C-alpha cells in the first residue's frame, strides 16, 4: 500500500465536500507527471492526504483512501467544463481520474510547519517551485505528518 498527497483548492473542492459525498472522483488533473502517477501507481487501498492550497489555512487537512483506480476523466470531453480538453481523442482519452473515499479530518498541519520540519524537507510539496497536484508520500513522512496533528 502506498501513500499520496492530493492538492485541492477548498473553494472548488474541500475535505468537507468529500465528507459529504463520501466517495468522489478526483477529476481535473491536467499535468502529465501527475497523470502518469494516477494511471500507473495509484492503487485501490492506497491512503491519501488531502491538502488545501490557495486558501487561508494552507496544509494537510484530512485522509482519504483510493477506492477505484484510473479510468477516463469524462470532463475532458465536456465543452462546458473548465477541464475540457479539445485535443483529447475520445478513442484514446488523454486524462484519467481515480475515486477516493473520505476517511477522516485531521487537525490542520500547516504548510509552514511542514517547511520547518527537517523530517519532511524531502517532500516534493516543500521543494522549490514544485507544482505537482499529486505526489507520493513516504511511510516515514506519512507517520510524521500524523504525529504533527497531535491526534495520534
Partner DNA sequence: GCCAACGTTGGC
Examine residue 80 and tell whether it contacts DNA (CB under 7 A).
no
- Give the one residue of 2, 25, 119, 132 binding DNA; rule: CB under 7 A: 132
Which has the closest alpha carbon to 5: 54, 51, 53, 55? 51
Give whichever of 29 and 100 is closer to DNA, judged by the CB atom: 29
- Contact between 28 and 6 under an 8 Å Cβ cutoff? The reply is no
- Give the one residue of 130, 138, 149, 151 binding DNA; rule: CB under 7 A: 130
- Give the one residue of 11, 90, 128, 150 binding DNA; rule: CB under 7 A: 128
Binding mask 39-78 for DNA (x = CB under 7 A): --------------xxx--x--------------------
Rounded least distance, CB 61 to DNA, Å: 12
Examine residue 81 and tell whether it contacts DNA (CB under 7 A).
no
State the Rg of the chain over Cα. 15
| Whole-angstrom distance, CA of residue 101 vs CA of residue 90 | 27
| Whole-angstrom distance, CA of residue 22 vs CA of residue 11 | 18
As given in the structure block, the three cell numbers for residue 102 are 473520505
Examine residue 12 and tell whether it contacts DNA (CB under 7 A).
no
- Contact between 63 and 142 under an 8 Å Cβ cutoff? The reply is no
Examine residue 31 and tell whether it contacts DNA (CB under 7 A).
yes
- Contact between 65 and 48 under an 8 Å Cβ cutoff? The reply is yes
List residues binding DNA (CB under 7 A): 7, 9, 30-33, 53-55, 58, 87, 111-112, 115, 128-133
Amino acid at each position: 500500500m502506498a501513500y499520496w498527497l492530493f492538492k485541492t483548492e477548498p473553494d472548488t473542492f474541500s475535505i468537507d465536500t468529500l465528507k459529504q459525498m463520501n466517495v468522489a472522483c478526483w477529476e481535473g488533473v491536467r499535468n502529465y507527471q501527475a497523470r502518469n502517477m494516477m494511471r500507473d501507481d495509484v492503487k485501490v487501498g492506497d491512503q491519501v492526504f488531502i491538502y488545501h492550497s490557495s486558501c487561508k489555512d494552507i496544509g494537510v487537512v484530512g485522509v482519504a483512501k483510493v477506492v477505484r483506480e484510473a479510468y477516463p476523466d469524462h470532463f475532458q470531453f465536456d465543452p462546458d467544463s473548465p477541464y475540457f480538453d479539445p485535443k483529447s481523442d475520445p478513442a484514446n482519452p488523454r486524462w484519467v481520474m481515480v475515486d477516493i473515499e473520505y476517511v477522516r479530518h485531521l487537525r490542520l498541519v500547516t504548510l509552514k510547519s511542514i517547511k520547518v520540519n527537517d523530517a519532511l524537507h524531502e517532500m516534493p510539496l516543500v521543494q522549490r517551485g514544485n507544482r505537482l497536484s499529486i505526489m507520493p508520500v513516504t511511510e516515514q513522512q506519512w507517520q510524521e505528518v500524523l504525529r504533527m496533528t497531535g491526534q495520534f
